[in-house]
Amino acid sequence: MKTAPSSAGRAPKEGAALALAREVLEIEARAISDLIGKLDQRFTQAVELLLKCRGRVVVSGIGKSGHIARKIASTLASTGTPAFFVHPAEASHGDLGMVTSDDVFIALSHSGESEELLAIIPLLKRQGAKLVALTGNPGSTLAREADVPLYAGAEKEACPLNLAPTASTTAALALGDALAVAVMQEKGFTRDEFAASHPGGALGRRLLTRVRDVMRTGNDAPRAAHGATAMQGILEMSRTRMGMTSVLDDAGRVVGIFTDGDLRRALEKGVDLRSARIADVMTSSPRTISPDKLAAEAVEIMERFKINQMLVVGPDRKLLGALNMHDLFRAKVI
């Protein structure tokens, strides 16, 4: 008996995969675009429910909708709205005890007829929790039972068979993001609050690391007196290996900076560095930064003005420290 040849390992026809990928992206982009025209007062009502929520937002769904529900719960939690995911099947076996009358329950189901979700709806109603439904079927049981039903579907899935949830899950995810961002904006959620909930990884470092955390201080911060010679400035640059030294007046205030660039320009002009005063070859009024600023702001200033070092000063312009790009690299701010 002959069997059909396996497609395993078969290379796609030239250009076919690329064409299909473009079609998939077009279909999913269209699904999100179509939601814009379907938004109405019910979206505002959903936002108001979330803003008035005295408990937590519980997000639920099964299958692919469950994966999207987890992401929506995570986005809400990270933007200032306490939220968590609960599996509808587990909810029927005890986890529904997590939900209280002060909570808002967001249920995701493209068909709006998922048995696992519908089984717990009467219990949610009995407890007094508010119900927001994200569904692709406005006439479904879930939509009818919801306090606020929101359309989150797609006219066509990106799957060539029009079966696998693709465009519809993308639309639901986008609508969930819209809800989270709208609530975040209304709450006045700040950058500092966002940083507090993202302490780990690169994002946390960018949002939490201050200049004072990475700057060099004390003897590690290069400094030369205003009356010093250029050669003394070079020796100070060599000692700290920062490629520059600050130049201070008698009160310890920053009046300039002497960098590798200043040194090269002096050499090109034939300046006698042994006798020249550092004040004659330094850069006056250098870029400075407060120790309380984010280290990421120091990066932005350095990149904008194409400099590699910065002096850290207080309100009186007294030197507090210094930092360069290498310090920011080591702190993994960049």
- Report the domain count for the chain: 2
Quickly state the pLDDT bin for 279 (edges 50, 70, 90).
very high
CATH number at residue 280: 3.10.580.10
Residue 162 belongs to what domain range? 20-189
For residue 205, tell me if it sits in a domain: no
For residue 5, tell me if it sits in a domain: no
Share of the chain above pLDDT 90, in %: 69
Quickly state the pLDDT bin for 258 (edges 50, 70, 90).
very high
For residue 194, tell me if it sits in a domain: no
pLDDT, residue 3, reads 55
For residue 101, tell me if it sits in a domain: yes
Three-state secondary structure readout of the chain = CCCCCCCCCCCCCCCHHHHHHHHHHHHHHHHHHHHHHHCCHHHHHHHHHHHHCCCCEEEEECCHHHHHHHHHHHHHHHCCCCEEECCHHHHCCCHHHHCCCCCEEEEEECCCCCHHHHHHHHHHHHHCCEEEEEECCCCCHHHHHCCEEEECCCCCCCCCCCCCCCHHHHHHHHHHHHHHHHHHHHHCCCHHHHHHCCCCHHHHHHHHCEHHHHCECHHHCCEEECCCEHHHHHHHHHHHCCCEEEEECCCCEEEEEEEHHHHHHHHHCCCCCCCCEHHHHCEECCCEECCCCEHHHHHHHHHHHCCCEEEEECCCCEEEEEEEHHHHHHCCCC
pLDDT over threshold 90, residue 163: no
For residue 3, tell me if it sits in a domain: no
Looking at the structure, tell me whether residues 179 and 314 fall in a common domain: no
Of 189, 222, 249, the position where a domain reaches its end is: 189
What average pLDDT does range 141-147 have in this prediction? Answer: 96
pLDDT over threshold 70, residue 191: no
Looking at the structure, tell me whether residues 132 and 235 fall in a common domain: no
Quickly state the pLDDT bin for 97 (edges 50, 70, 90).
confident
Looking at the structure, tell me whether residues 173 and 46 fall in a common domain: yes
Quickly state the pLDDT bin for 161 (edges 50, 70, 90).
confident
